[in-house]
Amino acid sequence: MKIKRAQHYGMCFGVRDAIDLAREHSKGQPLTILGDLVHNEKVMEDFRRSGVTVERDTSRVKSTKVMITAHGASRKRIEEVRSLGLEVVEATCPLVRYAHRTVEKLVSRGFYPVIIGKKGHVEVLGLTEDLAECTVIENPGEIEQIPPHPKLGVAAQTTQPISRVRGMVEMIRQRFPSSEVYFMDTVCRPTKERQKAIEDLAVECDVVLAVGGRDSNNTRQLAEKSRALGARAYHIQGPEDIDAAWFSGEETVGITAGTSTPDELIDAVEARMEQIASGFAKRVMSEVAAV
């Protein structure tokens, strides 16, 4: 069995910085994080153990300081929180801020905003809540929901697969041939690097393990992409999810991870795979010795 890691994987700088900021602001004082700082249950559990609370509903906040996650929030939402007398710490990723500025620019230039992303996702809510009007579409079937407009400005949630986004932009152009359809690429670089790396890994490997929280959208996408490229892929949360029965010992196994997966977890998955691989190697040796 061969084990390979993707060239780009795991925690991005945006999530890493947000975690550092949460640690800094929770030293010796209560902090409430508004929503999941990362879509990773293990990281969030560590925060809860150190006294940090997580709330979605601001009426339940007990601390005076609250943190907006790397996913960002709308100005409206931040003002609502401040109006409750709470101090706001913003851990918004600079690449999410770029997406906000991009959408604002499109609107100020007279474009009707179309966001390609997951409806109801915290980042998409942050991108759209300040807008007077917009349409969020998740898949090509929803292009029909875009109202006719002479100028359509398209942007995307930062973690959407770029090839899919570009494909949908083309479909929008075909659906509205007389409109000016302007696309601003807001998919972030760490996401693009991971998507490119998974394409390379999936074609080289028989099996891909995508490590990340159950709710991590980008980990799910890494597993889906691997399957689309012909690998058998599993979305796992950690080494304990790996079943040795998935392998015959002959495979090349690739390991990748979502943008909120801590390095220690990826190391632990690799260590578990090394253990499984050495079990297969020992079995082969003893079979050879018995012949």
Residue numbers at the binding site for ligand SF4 (CB under 6 A): 12-15, 70, 93, 95-96, 158-159, 188, 190-191, 259
CB 255, min distance to ligand SF4, A: 19
CA dihedral 48, 52, 57, 63 (to 10 degrees): 150
Going by C-alpha positions, the residue among 37, 168, 187, 171 that lies closest to residue 99 is 187
CB 90, min distance to ligand SF4, A: 13
By annotation, the residues acting in catalysis are 123
> What would the two tokens of residue 95 be?
């690449």
Question: Whole-angstrom Cα distance, residue 243 to residue 231?
Answer: 17
Question: Whole-angstrom Cα distance, residue 213 to residue 219?
Answer: 8
CB 98, min distance to ligand SF4, A: 8
Q: Which is nearer to ligand SF4, 135 or 260 (CB)?
A: 260
Going by C-alpha positions, the residue among 254, 242, 239, 250 that lies closest to residue 207 is 254
Q: Which helix (H) or strand (E) holds 237?
A: none
Q: Which is nearer to ligand SF4, 93 or 125 (CB)?
A: 93
CB 258, min distance to ligand SF4, A: 9
Secondary structure tally for the chain: helices H, strands E: 9, 12
Q: Which is nearer to ligand SF4, 154 or 205 (CB)?
A: 154
Question: Whole-angstrom Cα distance, residue 221 to residue 209?
Answer: 12
Q: Which is nearer to ligand SF4, 12 or 276 (CB)?
A: 12
